A = this chain, B = another copy of it.
Amino acid sequence: MPSLTLADLQARLGGTVRGDASVPLNGAASLEQARPGQLGFLLSRKFLAAARASGASALIVAESLSDTLPQPCLAVANPHACFARALRLLYPEPRPAPGIHPSASVAADCVIDATAQIGPGCVVETGARIGARSVLGPNCVIGAGATLGEDCRLHAHVTVQHGCAIGHRAILHPGCVIGSDGFGLAWEGNSWLKVPQVGRALLGDDVEVGANTSIDRGALDDTVVEDGVKLDNLIQIAHNCRVGRHTAIAACVGIAGSTRIGAYCQIGGAAMIIGHLEIADRVTISAGSFVAKNLKEAGTYTSVQPLMRHADWLRNAAHLRHLDGLARRIKELENQIAGMPAPTQQEPP
């Protein structure tokens, strides 16, 4: 871990230092757990008390908050982004060690940049291409004809299936699968016949894919994940989906086949989106929601049941089977009331 001063951070990241710019920093932590020598950050006034009490030796803060803190501060317009960059300086990624590990199996006709690193146990099949400075962690598998751009970082056990293409600066976490077959079946006689999946999965630049997430290849045309899309763990992107640029999807989400998600969307964890839908740009789906219709307008959409004590749920949920009956009874009451004599107390005196 390198040691940097607050002045070093300012020199690289901009902003204004308040207090002692020479304070040495060798790591970062939360406000609660920070010890001397560590950097913290403060995003909002809500955590001001925690910041004041923090053991951090320096803080990255919003400009409006920097005056109020006892610690030396780097005041910036976007403290979250600045802190992210400071973390990369304090915890630099290991530099690629160019070369192909002797235990890797690499087909003779692959084109692997001399600056790329192919880890132990990797398998790179015929015709694959790996760009400059890209790193394949241990036991990754790159299928025939697949391509990776520059500066990609594949962690352990990643699978990229044949023919798929991934842009620059991708980050693929352990166990994720790019380009698995879509779930294409034709019914014939008395059983299912597999429909060969001959499209590809195409990922743009700056895409991140979480652990054990799967992105299916297209059935005929391609599945497309556009630039800047961020996918968390255990997500399913089915065949022929398109995920628009800079959309972020939290863990455990499933998106069924041929659905198109717009750009700048945010999809909460465990949401489920059925197939063949169009979701507009800048749509937010709440965690746990079920989406079964097109969403043509930006906004936030939700469909979850509120949690109750189980005994309350038993009492309430039974009525969900009879909502139609309740609604009809209300209508009937309204009809009956409409035919009643006018209320007496409404009569003029």
CB proximity of A191 to chain B, nearest CB, Å: 5
Complex CA–CA separation, A318 to B53 (angstroms): 39
- Residues of B close to A317: CB separation below 8 A: 302, 304-306, 323
Minimum Cβ distance to chain B for residue A92 (Å): 9
Quick one: which of A258-300 are within 8 Å of B by CB? 268-270, 272, 274, 284, 286-293, 295, 299-300
Min CB distance A65 to B, Å, is 17
> Among A16-24, A66-74, A225-233, which stretch is in contact with chain B?
A225-233
**CA distance in complex: A157, B307 (Å):** 37
B305 and A320 within 8 A (CB):
yes
How far apart are the CA atoms of A333 and B333 in the complex, in Å? 8
Q: Which of A44-52, A108-116, A214-222 contacts B (4 or more CB under 8 A)?
A: A214-222
Interface centre among A173, A195, A216, A302 (most CB of B within 10 A): A302
From A162, which residue of chain B is reached at the shortest CB distance? B94
For A314, what are the chain B residues with a Cβ–Cβ distance below 8 Å?
302
Closest chain-B Cβ to A311's Cβ sits at a distance in Å of 8
| Contact in complex: B236, A81 (CB < 8 Å) | no
Q: Mark A54-85, 1 if CB is under 8 A from B, else 0.
A: 00000000000000000000000010110111
Given A83-B195, A290-B307, are A246 and B190 neighbors across the interface (CB < 8 Å)? Answer: yes
In whole angstroms, what is the CA distance A159 to B212 when docked?
11
Q: Which residues of B contact A187 (CB under 8 A)?
A: 80-81
Query: Would A302 and B307 be within 8 Å (CB), given that A185-B248, A316-B322, A319-B327 are in contact?
Result: yes
A168 surroundings in chain B (CB, below 8 A):
none
A81 touches B138 (CB 8 A): no
Distance A200 CA – B109 CA, assembled complex (angstroms): 39
Q: Establish whether residues B306 and A312, one from each chain, have CB atoms under 8 Å apart when the complex forms.
A: no
**What is the distance, in angstroms, from A298's C-beta to the closest C-beta of chain B?**
11
Q: Which of A180, A190, A341 has the most CB of B within 10 A?
A: A180
- The reply on A321 being an interface residue by CB < 8 A is yes
Instruction: Give A197-216 as 1s and 0s: 1 = Cβ < 8 Å from B's Cβ atoms.
Output: 01000000010101110101
Q: Which 6 A-B pairs have the closest CB atoms?
A: A339-B343, A123-B138, A105-B120, A81-B188, A180-B211, A80-B186
A-B residue pairs in contact (CB < 8 Å), sample of 10: A30-B220, A80-B188, A88-B196, A119-B123, A272-B288, A274-B287, A302-B310, A316-B322, A326-B327, A333-B334
